[in-house]
Structure 1
Amino acid sequence: MTKKPTLSFLASHGGSAAKEIIRAIQNKTLFANIGLVITNNKNSAISQWCQDNGIKTTCISTSTHPDSEQEDKAIKHALTAVATDFVILSGYMKRIRQQTLKRFSNKILNVHPALLPKHGGQGMYGDRVHQAVLNAKETTSGASIHFINEIYDDGPIIAQQEVPVHPDDTVETLRKRVQAIEAMLYIESITQIIKNY
């Protein structure tokens, strides 16, 4: 039997995709183990959800580690301590630094709320992305799952799924349409990666 890979998560706020992936693991629809959830916000909704659901969680931030290199080292060690095989980003609002990138090269996945390479890069996250899509008068948007590297939203794309952009869309309506596909696209992508693991 194939070894179940261990997935750990980095999230800053609600971690909606992380929750869905964890539920898929708990329901045995995703062949993996849960490592831990790291947040940089001790009062985040994902932190509380983890505590309520018995998921190991820790806060590593500039509050706990003011020096960015020490923060990076702490994240790397926390992930390594639970034998993490893949790191899943779920609305993590910080840059992944060199030690963690090196230790988990081609093993850190992110979801971006647009069809990369369009509307990606530094500062392009959340509603900023949806506003850029609307400003560009795009007729389609969607979600991209990609590996991360040193450059924002530049790593190899694993999967993409399109959604239509309607002429009367607002940032909120477009966000909801994209969010509706993100978790399932993430789960499908992780499933494919695990098959080749």
Structure 2
Amino acid sequence: MLRILVCVSGGGTNLQAVIDAIGSGSLTNTEIIGVISNNKNAYALTRAEQNGIDAVCVSPKDFPDREAFNRAFLEKVNEYHPDLIVLAGFLVAIPAAMIESYRNRIINIHPSLIPSFCGVGFYGLKVHEAALARGVKVTGATVHFVDEGTDTGPIILQKSVQVHQDDTPKTLQQRVMEEAEWQLLPQAIDMIANGRISVEDGKVRYK
């Protein structure tokens, strides 16, 4: 059984997609052992509690500096003894020590087809604003392993989504979530839980 810890900053729709996939049986051999948010008002914490999942807030605002927060955050993560850490809309930079400790055991969902519209400064609606400003006709989402860069780790899964002429950043964000993110994240976790992928030479291989 793959023990996953989900980190989230906001509403937790991707967390809900994982919860629902476990409930429906489409995501197998997996249990959510905890949810960590950096935001005490995140609705994701409520979603976790409603589903009987341990939930806690670890906020940078509660620490004198980022180094102290990073230590406390990693300590809390380690308490759960996760097999896999899932970043589901987590808007905090992951400490280097945590990436080292959990090499190829942290995954992230990003709302574009990496390497487009990714990296520092591309998060939330900003990604979709940039896609519309560039006039792309296809966008999507990517699940990837986390390394020391920003959105630079090995890509696990990608799914494309059509851009409509009358899209706004919000309508595009919603379509990318519904048609790509909420499908890809449970699928990627299921593949990991059932030993169907490996990382070789910085690339994901399917077994």
With the length of structure 2 as denominator, give the TM-score of the two structures: 0.88
Between the aligned residues of both structures, percent identity stands at 35
8 Å contact kept, 1:18–1:88: no
Residues 77, 27 of structure 1: CA spacing in aligned structure 2 closer, same or farther, 3 A cutoff? farther
Partner of 1:25: 22
C-alpha distance in 1, partners of 2:23/2:82? Answer: 17
* Structure 1 counterpart of 2:56, from 55, 58, 61: 58
Spell out, residue by residue over 1:18-55, the C-alpha distance to the aligned partner (whole angstroms, 9 max, x if none).
Answer: 12212322444322121110001111111122223321
Which residue number in structure 1 is paired with residue 148 of structure 2? 150
The question of whether the paired residues in 2 share the 8 Å contact of 1:36 and 1:79 is answered with no
Deviation string 1:72-113 (CA, Å, 9 cap, x unpaired) is: 222222222222010001111110011211111111111111
Residue 73 of structure 2 is aligned to residue 90 of structure 1: no
Following superposition of structure 1 onto structure 2, how do residues 8-87 of structure 1 map, counting pairs within 5 Å? 8-30=5-27, 31-87=29-85
Cα offset, 1:58, TM superposition: 0.9
Give distance in 2, aligned partners of 1:124 and 1:191.
27
Q: Do the aligned residues in 2 keep the contact of 1:107 with 1:147 (CA within 8 Å)?
A: yes
Asked if the contact 1:11–1:37 (Cα under 8 Å) also holds between the matched residues in 2, the reply is yes
SS of 1:24 mapped into structure 2: helix
Structure 1 residues without counterparts, runs of 5 or longer: none
* Cα shift at 1:15: 1.3
Q: Residue 183 in 1 paired to residue 178 in 2?
A: no
Structure 2 gaps, min length 5: 197-207
Q: Which amino acid aligns with 1:35?
A: I
CA distance in 2, matches of 1:132, 1:146: 21
Preserved CA contact (<8 Å) 2:12 2:43: yes
CA distances 1:134-173 after superposition (whole Å, capped 9, x unpaired) = 1111110000001111211111111100011122221122
Contact 2:12 2:47 in 1 (8 A): no
Q: How many residues align?
A: 194
SS at match of 2:7: strand
Q: How do residues 132-147 of structure 1 correspond to structure 2 at under 5 angstroms? A: 132-147=130-145
Measured after TM superposition, the shift of residue 17 of structure 1 is 0.5
Cα RMSD, aligned residues only: 1.5
Q: Distance in 2 between matches of 1:21 and 1:13?
A: 15
Q: What secondary structure is seen at the aligned counterpart in 2 of 1:63?
A: helix
Distance in 2 separating the partners of 1:61 and 1:170 = 31
Supply the distance in 2 between the matched residues of 1:115 and 1:144 (Cα, whole angstroms).
6
Rounded Cα–Cα distance in structure 2 between residues aligned with 1:16 and 1:115: 19
